[in-house]
Amino acid sequence: MSDILFFIKIIILTSVFTILMQIKIGETTLEQKTEVMIKESYFGQTMVEVAQGAIHALRDIYKSILDNVDSQVTKDFDQKNIPGYRSFGVEIKRSKEFLQDQLKRGKEVAEEKAKAAIKKVKENPEIVKEKAEAVKSKATEIYESLEE
């Protein structure tokens, strides 16, 4: 029974503390002021430096272990049996005819699109002027935003 009462007391205290930390003084809450104070304190900065050092140490240890394992694997196995270097002797290549056919189809599509664009411009020459004006205004807008 005492364990349940202890649990209930802790829940109530935590709730009260959380609510009190949300009180706003000036522009920020007590929680935000506490967070800034901890981050800017000597202890907080020291803890950040310690954590960064630990991360660098772990990275170096991981790299050295990985290099040792990798070099041991390459010693024990033939280079061509190592994952990433395996080859099953099967190569898939496209036939020359297929590649030439794809090139021919691509040329035909490009020619059709070019003819359609030329026809559209001949039918309505104002399109070119409109597009040129749109590009010019967009370029001017970008240039002016860069000057600011």
User: pLDDT digits over 109-134, tens only?
Assistant: 999 998 888 888 888 878 778 888 88
Same domain, yes or no: 17 and 73 = yes
How far apart, in whole angstroms, are the C-alpha atoms of residue 49 and residue 146?
39
How far apart, in whole angstroms, are the C-alpha atoms of residue 16 and residue 144?
54
Quick one: pLDDT at residue 73? Answer: 63
Per-residue pLDDT, averaged over 39-44, amounts to 87
Same domain, yes or no: 69 and 108 = no
Same domain, yes or no: 105 and 132 = yes
Same domain, yes or no: 10 and 61 = yes
Cβ atoms 79, 85 nearer than 8 A: yes
Q: Quote the number of domains for the chain.
A: 2
3-class secondary-structure state, position 85: coil
> Where is the domain boundary, 24, 51, 81?
81
Same domain, yes or no: 74 and 102 = no
Residue keyed to tokens 């649990």: 7
Same domain, yes or no: 64 and 124 = no
Same domain, yes or no: 75 and 7 = yes
How far apart, in whole angstroms, are the C-alpha atoms of residue 2 and residue 8?
10
> Where is the domain boundary, 25, 46, 81?
81
Quick one: pLDDT at residue 20? Answer: 93
Side-chain-side CA neighbours of 145 within 13 Å: the count stands at 6
Quick one: pLDDT at residue 33? Answer: 92
Strands (E) located in the chain: 24-25, 28-29
Same domain, yes or no: 118 and 70 = no
Same domain, yes or no: 7 and 75 = yes
Residue 29 falls within a domain, yes or no? yes
CB burial readout 71-108, b (16+ within 10 A) else e = eeeeeeeeeeeeeeeeeeeeeeeeeeeeeeeeeeeeee
Residue 46 reports pLDDT greater than 70:
yes
Residue 90 falls within a domain, yes or no? no
Residue 51 falls within a domain, yes or no? yes
Find the domain containing 140 and state its range. 96-147
